[in-house]
Structure 1
Amino acid sequence: MNPAQQGLLSALRATGAVIPVTARSTEAFSRVHLDFGTRRAILANGAVILNGEGVAEPDWLAHTAHIGRSAEALLLDMSALIDAEFGTAARSWIVEEYGAPVYFCVKMNASAAEDVRTGISAAAELLASRFNLSGLQQHANGNNLSFTPTGISKRDACRHLIDSIRDGSGAPLIGIGDSLTDLPFMGLCDFIMTPSGSQIAGLMARTSDKDLTP
């Protein structure tokens, strides 16, 4: 974390709890050692909701596991195609939670930014040309291309969590994110915040430039 990020986390922690909402799996999140002021979290693009004790909510887990297993054959075929067509130029895997597949991810092994952009675009086009992806939500940001079954989302998980914990006290709920796919869950909050240089900020800048063009 840079000093600005550290300062923001400290300021937020001073006024309330910070609930992480992330694509990170349960295993990856277990390696994050930050004090958020709560053990609650939304993980794996919304597939897992950790409660106040840091334990996955079983009913939500069963709900998303059913959705993920319904898409498992398609995700396996997508992964096999990427391996066959890209070889060592890319890596792909299916993220699993408690034995159930929840989303599919592709990354390029190139180091140059232009090569990464070209590779991610090619992978997205290849998958779209071979499969019916209407039942998946596609997300691309930097060296990350992911496909999540419809019904598993950060927004759905956040709505469930907000409904269960909001107490009517009037405490403001602030949604913070950097990716376009964060906007749906951020829209559930009273205020939204995004870092400069983020995918969201870039879109806002491009939109603003167009609006100001005579």
Structure 2
Amino acid sequence: MGQCIYLTDLDDTLFRSSHKHPQGEALTRVTTATNGHHGHMNPAQQGLLSALRATGAVIPVTARSTDAFSRVHLDFGTRRAILANGAVILNAEGVADPAWLAHTAHIGRSAETLLLDMSALIGAELGSAARSWIVEEYGAPVYFCVKMNATGAAEVRSGITAAAERLASRFDLSGLQQHANGNNLSFTPIGISKREACRHLIDSIRDGGGAPLIGIGDSLTDLPFMGLCDFIMTPSGSQIADLMARMTDGDLTP
């Protein structure tokens, strides 16, 4: 029987920004962020990655672009990865799968005008309260992201909600998958997803030898790719763990 195959999200799963860690916790910086919010691991996260490395193949599955992923300073033991919410699949040599790139580029370019109009609206109507950008891979747009510039949790939450409502009132978003988690609001063209990329990758690497497939993630948008796996793991305090706690308590309100 083969070792495990771990498909794991990165941000807020294996590491997080220092301000999201409890004060006084021993931290190791593991990413370089252009905005200064570098990713850090606590001892438990470091121990988890070591255990994963020792028992199987660790394959990152992340919303990070190719550029942002290049600034993750961790050795996963493989060069395989799924990047940009599933728009890019890196093979065992760390090279982007050209057929998959062509597939997702076609989807992204079909939504390009809409994404540009959404970005223009956020810039014009929210101004300095928010920042937004279109993530591109190999020249093709693949998703749109909005973040608030506020620092308070309540301000961020209300700002993200207001931005989502404003965009929904002005545009037909039926062709996009919307996701909100903390200070992150994103819109990805339907057809580009972690789940579809993972399905493609799994088909190419699973050899029928019985290696357990384990999905790890923190966000509700990770659940679709995690659902392809034999088992799932999530950090305590994550969006997934909070949903499970509410279900246990009989409270399914957002």
* TM-score, normalisation: structure 1: 0.98
Tell me which of 58, 66, 75 is aligned to 1:18. Answer: 58
Within a 5 Å distance, the mapping from 1:36-185 to structure 2 comes to 36-185=76-225
**How many residue pairs were aligned?**
211
| 1:157 CA displacement | 0.1
Looking at structure 1, the residues matched to 43 and 228 of structure 2 have their Cα atoms a distance apart, in angstroms, of 28
Once the two structures are superposed, residues 33-90 of structure 1 have per-residue CA deviations (whole angstroms, 9 ceiling, x without a partner) of: 2111110000000000000000000000000000000000000000000001100000
Looking at structure 2, the residues matched to 37 and 17 of structure 1 have their Cα atoms a distance apart, in angstroms, of 7
Looking at structure 2, the residues matched to 170 and 19 of structure 1 have their Cα atoms a distance apart, in angstroms, of 17
| 1:196 CA displacement | 0.2
Looking at structure 2, the residues matched to 26 and 79 of structure 1 have their Cα atoms a distance apart, in angstroms, of 21
Query: Which one-letter code corresponds to 1:85 in the other structure?
Result: E
Where in structure 1 do 4 or more consecutive aligned residues deviate above 3 Å? none
Matched residue SS, 2:61: coil
Matched residue SS, 1:148: strand
Looking at structure 2, the residues matched to 34 and 21 of structure 1 have their Cα atoms a distance apart, in angstroms, of 14
Query: Which one-letter code corresponds to 2:228 in the other structure?
Result: L
Looking at structure 2, the residues matched to 210 and 31 of structure 1 have their Cα atoms a distance apart, in angstroms, of 41
Query: Which one-letter code corresponds to 2:156 in the other structure?
Result: V
Contact persistence 1:16–1:37 (CA under 8 A): no
Looking at structure 1, the residues matched to 230 and 156 of structure 2 have their Cα atoms a distance apart, in angstroms, of 36
Tell me which of 178, 182, 193 is aligned to 2:233. Answer: 193
More helix by share: 1
Contact persistence 1:49–1:56 (CA under 8 A): yes
Which sections of structure 2, spanning at least 5 residues, go unmatched?
1-40
More strand by share: 2
* TM-score, normalisation: structure 2: 0.82
Percent identity, aligned pairs only, is 89
Looking at structure 2, the residues matched to 5 and 54 of structure 1 have their Cα atoms a distance apart, in angstroms, of 24
Looking at structure 2, the residues matched to 119 and 52 of structure 1 have their Cα atoms a distance apart, in angstroms, of 41
